[in-house]
Structure 1
């Protein structure tokens, strides 16, 4: 089909001449059908598409106007009895015509742009020292998602990028946020925020002094940072960050319990209260020998017993407060912060304080929200590490076992493997900041090629991500692997250019555009900005530019007839493809000194949108386009045996430094975690089946 039509020249409305592209026709027809709430099927869309192509082919056109193509589409719809679709398509054409008048009439275009610029200003009118910042989500409401995206594609983004996005060759995740230069996500360093407190739009938060205030401020930090980004939020070491709050609470309870006892006894005549208070302040852990206070007892057995009772009561009260704090934290994330998807990384803090945090967080998630409702957020990533929690004699083995049990009742728990090859490279024993952190979708944060001394997870995240449709390339190359690799390289170079374009737009934004992320120094290196009018480029460079891909499974079926779970040859080809993508990413890192990384896409909606367009273009192909969505990332079909699935997919985890994820269904959680660990998996999710 393409060969017969490739010589046709299409004349656009502005007189510009371009090559004929059947993909644009397929997309337009699909949009027409999607616009009507009906029972039409794929075969209906395919029929219109192929009839339109046949008419154009039979017309022997050397050149054809865009309006002629649209007339043919409308006519074919009517001829085939799709009158409602034809009507909707005609209305769509009329609206597009009005839109073009708006954009290309100079007077109207000027007014439209001024209106958009006024909405998008970093600050509203006010004094020089006062700014009433809108959150990015509120600004997006003013624009409207459609207007924002169209503005980006018409005035900001290069045309070749927007066309590839619309045609389904790539998917630009931040396309609706281009005008704002918004980044995607961040691993929030709570320790840094808690140290001296922080400010929000309307108030200042003092440094927290109890576990209750720690959990409240954690919630405030997550919520406010979400307003400056469009994606997920994550805490890379929640147990470590919250542990000091447990110790502060214990000290208060220990001291108060002593005061309470002294109110009802005459022990105060025999003990030096000032000395006891000083001793309490010296405590560095709640797990200590109570006999350190016996020096204040004058060898009185009654006073020794008093201190033992004080310790027990203080521990009981502290435990209760930690549980209530974690319960409130989880409930609030699912109510007042329900739009903010949050990931919490825990599992490696072996201190008594950190263990209490992890235990009570897992307990709260296990118990749910009441009335048989399950918590959607937070998603908990349990960090698995030998010597800390993997084996029975490890300190945190009980927490690991607890996490595995929670999997049986909730979908919130996943596992990262700190001993996998890809996750040990940067790890420094005893430094939790060098532990890799994941987002729930598998996005991995640790590598920092622009500053190898700052290879940490906290304060960093993805600044832009674009997904590549691998089956589309394979289908267009008619199964030729050589042609596939040539086309893959071309697409990767374009994708790289698009990510750089996005980065440059973001880099030119000012500190004041991100009142929490940058002004409160959540993002790494943002402390260097002394003025809110400074551009954020010097800090933003630590973020990741994510080259993602999806549908390797289907691409291999097109290229070799079988998936990588069915054929050793297909697995070899799959590894060659992903290794090539990884090598190209490293090439871009060296050339541009930016943090390009490779990731498997885990967004079902993106994989679904790709296959819907490809089904129209290439028809219903068995095991390729005859499904609701392409198989995400490098994953194999979920029907594949667990052991085989783990073995096949594990080989790709070392090649995807920007993120990876294996999803399996199992009735033995701990056994499956052990299987993942032994097979060098970086990050995995287990869905429990009875």
Structure 2
């Protein structure tokens, strides 16, 4: 008689038939409930007796394991005609096994986070913006690991969890899924500044000078970052902060006029009285501004001459001096404000102090003198770098290129375009977005900056809207999930079979299955987000940052307003998918190129169909693959072995990009990748890799940017080596020795700063192994 059972951990425990009876009864009850009947506990007891007899025969003189008993239960259920109960029992058994494996995996993850250095653990470098060796970074990773496993076991559907674990899809930011956070937001700073705002710890008044504008802009970004798991972007930074320049100029103008009048009048009037008087006069004449006309100056001079009994011509001389002095001081204060803004965003902490806010600013199209002053000084501050000359990681600067505004020599802001290229050639930023791209220009209306399509630094784009007004302000991505395209290519291509041609029919059938799976998963996550309330996100929703949230109460649900965000599907490894299908990627073969566009267009069409069916903004993004870049590859190599050109590297190629190791010209790469920008309405980017220091040839730099614009690229950047010697502070290209001080790399290594996924994350030691490998494989485009 069986009287003991061997547990999975090796312990022996008494055999308890009642546990078998209960398990059978629960499975039978689930089946009975679906059929509208009641399960019979007595039948479960009788089946348990049959299981006991089977075990006694099979394990006479032995001790069965838990798995042995479960196998016996399954066998008895099937042989006695209880097939449906058997199926339910098997599913229950598989689910319990999955949860056990999840717990084991969690404990291994916790162990690695606790005991391994970041250099030894990809887990601790999954997010290059988090220092995995710090106490707060470690604590954040603990929470992330536990939350992910909890969501997979108890929140999301089993088929979604299994697809993620199996590497068919990747659910991004799963650790935030149960919290219902949204990914990112385009912040309307003018709206935030109007009347002031609260951070939850105190109310901040509406700013009155450019220093305050810049400081509060950084605070708004930091505060909003604590309510979201993605990034924060300012769509119209130059327009939003130009008002701060105006207020600063006006205040300085009055103060400087007081000083000038004091020299003429002596102490005849009090300081405050003169300043108030000048402010009144400039309000009446609208003359205290940078772009003041001669007529306005004359009217102002006449009034001042009359009020203070000073000769008109003398007032005009004073006026000219005051204007020049005020312009100089305003420009200096604006530079200091932009410098402080950049320094703040590289030192402010968010998310329990584990990282700086992931921030982006779009600018370059405001042609007012105040807006131009913002753009100029923002870029000059970026060019100077941080305190020791380090390249700022954040904010990601994005220069908006627009014909008629800054693209051509006759355009008002062409000088800013040239400055943007100079700064980018030295600091990797700004990146460049192109308003004239066909899929962007259709939204554009002159003199309405809110109609300009903008980007997050990583590449995210939000504009189209089936639920309301088409704008970027106050909207963002809700969540996104990525498809493993190479997996489908391997299954239906020529690389791992005797086929001479790819089974494209089978490929597209399963592609549709995966698209539908991701669509369902995004909707499942949307329901969690929609059930959250304003009070769950006190700044994002409580301060009216998200579009429409200002109309909700503290306890109102978010469903009706977050639907204006995007539900996004992404993809990775189009190149490897094509190699697996046809033997060649889209950079080396015309037929593969046509097939690549067909695949991505098919996915985009399916997203559009889902948008229409659900009245939600389903969209397609060219996935910014950081932590994901090696995950799919490791899983697929284990499943299918090492496949040349597909799984033989540590990473899959980023989204639709031509493989980084493939040699071609910059123009060829742009032409091949440009069509995918139109298809990926939720975001995209194309890079060009240059060697050496491009600042020595800005005309060549400009040629590449213009080629991007002319080819229909939406968002692009130029990569180049950016090294720094932390000893002498030299920035530039460094080989084995520093060109400035002649020091060889030794105990104090040179900082090798590189860009991934659209945003700069710093030195190579912060990248995971897959991204390091990808960076090392990159060839230059000449």
TM surpasses 0.5: yes
Among 439, 455, 465, the alignment partner of 2:470 is 455
Structure 2 counterpart of 1:266: 265
The Cα shift of 1:240 comes to: 0.4
> What secondary structure is seen at the aligned counterpart in 2 of 1:438?
coil
CA distance in 2, matches of 1:230, 1:247: 35
Among 349, 354, 360, the alignment partner of 2:377 is 360
The Cα shift of 1:371 comes to: 2.2
Deviations 1:48-90 (A, max 9, x none): xxxxxxxxxxxxxxxx98999xxxxxxxxxxxxxxxxxxxxxx
Structure 2 counterpart of 1:294: 301
Deviations 1:237-259 (A, max 9, x none): 10000000000000000001112
CA distance in 1, matches of 2:137, 2:383: 34
The Cα shift of 1:285 comes to: 4.0
The question of 1:487 aligning with 2:510 is answered yes
CA distance in 2, matches of 1:615, 1:274: 75
CA contact (8 A) 1:407 1:669 kept: no
The Cα shift of 1:273 comes to: 7.2
How do 1:614-629 and structure 2 match up within 5 A?
Answer: 614-629=636-651
The Cα shift of 1:173 comes to: 0.7
The Cα shift of 1:147 comes to: 1.6
The question of 1:682 aligning with 2:714 is answered yes
Structure 2 counterpart of 1:278: 280
CA contact (8 A) 1:474 1:480 kept: no
Deviations 1:613-640 (A, max 9, x none): 1111111111111112111111102333
The Cα shift of 1:604 comes to: 2.9
C-alpha change, 1:301 and 1:411, in structure 2 (3 Å) is same
The question of 1:312 aligning with 2:298 is answered no
Unaligned runs of 5+ in 1: 1-13, 18-63, 69-92, 103-136
The Cα shift of 1:344 comes to: 0.6
CA distance in 2, matches of 1:284, 1:349: 19
Among 539, 545, 548, the alignment partner of 1:525 is 548
CA contact (8 A) 1:285 1:352 kept: no
Among 688, 709, 725, the alignment partner of 1:664 is 688
> What secondary structure is seen at the aligned counterpart in 1 of 2:630?
helix
The Cα shift of 1:685 comes to: 1.1
The question of 1:643 aligning with 2:667 is answered yes
> What secondary structure is seen at the aligned counterpart in 2 of 1:685?
strand
Deviations 1:411-437 (A, max 9, x none): 232100000101011111110001011
Structure 2 counterpart of 1:217: 216
How do 1:328-339 and structure 2 match up within 5 A?
Answer: 328-337=340-349, 339=356
CA distance in 2, matches of 1:665, 1:142: 33
> What secondary structure is seen at the aligned counterpart in 2 of 1:423?
helix
CA contact (8 A) 1:197 1:204 kept: yes
Moved more, 680-689 or 551-560: 680-689
CA contact (8 A) 1:407 1:688 kept: no
> What secondary structure is seen at the aligned counterpart in 2 of 1:345?
strand
The Cα shift of 1:324 comes to: 0.6
> What secondary structure is seen at the aligned counterpart in 2 of 1:380?
strand
The Cα shift of 1:142 comes to: 10
Structure 1 counterpart of 2:628: 606
The Cα shift of 1:141 comes to: 4.5
The question of 1:186 aligning with 2:146 is answered no
TM-score w.r.t. length of structure 1: 0.79
Structure 1 counterpart of 2:203: 204
The Cα shift of 1:547 comes to: 0.9
CA contact (8 A) 2:102 2:149 kept: no
C-alpha change, 1:622 and 1:301, in structure 2 (3 Å) is same
CA contact (8 A) 1:473 1:484 kept: yes
Unaligned runs of 5+ in 2: 1-22, 28-66, 72-96, 107-135, 350-354, 494-501, 695-699, 722-732, 734-782
The Cα shift of 1:143 comes to: 7.3
Deviations 1:316-368 (A, max 9, x none): 11111101111111011111245211111001000000000000000000000
CA contact (8 A) 1:631 1:637 kept: yes
CA distance in 2, matches of 1:687, 1:98: 40
The Cα shift of 1:534 comes to: 0.7
The question of 1:326 aligning with 2:325 is answered no
The Cα shift of 1:560 comes to: 1.3
CA distance in 1, matches of 2:98, 2:515: 36
Structure 2 counterpart of 1:412: 429
The Cα shift of 1:98 comes to: 10
C-alpha change, 1:287 and 1:206, in structure 2 (3 Å) is same
CA contact (8 A) 1:556 1:562 kept: yes
How do 1:114-193 and structure 2 match up within 5 A?
Answer: 141=140, 144-193=143-192
- Structure 1 runs of 4+ with >6 Å offset: 14-17, 64-68, 137-140, 267-274
Deviations 1:568-614 (A, max 9, x none): 11111111101110110010011000001111112232121111111
CA distance in 2, matches of 1:450, 1:426: 16
> What secondary structure is seen at the aligned counterpart in 1 of 2:170?
strand
The question of 1:466 aligning with 2:498 is answered no
Among 498, 503, 517, the alignment partner of 2:521 is 498
C-alpha change, 1:197 and 1:288, in structure 2 (3 Å) is same
> What secondary structure is seen at the aligned counterpart in 2 of 1:373?
coil
The question of 1:434 aligning with 2:451 is answered yes
Structure 1 counterpart of 2:491: 476
CA contact (8 A) 2:169 2:481 kept: yes
How do 1:51-130 and structure 2 match up within 5 A?
Answer: 96=100, 99=103
Deviations 1:504-548 (A, max 9, x none): 10000011000000000000010110x211101111011010111
The Cα shift of 1:442 comes to: 1.0
Moved more, 282-291 or 571-580: 282-291
C-alpha change, 1:94 and 1:565, in structure 2 (3 Å) is closer
Moved more, 636-645 or 284-293: 284-293
The question of 1:561 aligning with 2:583 is answered yes
C-alpha change, 1:548 and 1:293, in structure 2 (3 Å) is same
TM-score w.r.t. length of structure 2: 0.70
The Cα shift of 1:263 comes to: 2.9
CA distance in 2, matches of 1:177, 1:140: 15
CA distance in 1, matches of 2:376, 2:141: 43
Among 460, 476, 499, the alignment partner of 1:443 is 460
The question of 1:593 aligning with 2:585 is answered no
CA distance in 2, matches of 1:66, 1:167: 28
C-alpha change, 1:269 and 1:398, in structure 2 (3 Å) is same
Structure 1 counterpart of 2:572: 550
CA distance in 1, matches of 2:386, 2:580: 46
The Cα shift of 1:294 comes to: 2.2
> What secondary structure is seen at the aligned counterpart in 1 of 2:426?
coil
CA distance in 2, matches of 1:139, 1:541: 34
C-alpha change, 1:300 and 1:347, in structure 2 (3 Å) is same
The question of 1:654 aligning with 2:678 is answered yes
RMSD: 2.7
Structure 2 counterpart of 1:105: none
Structure 2 counterpart of 1:380: 397
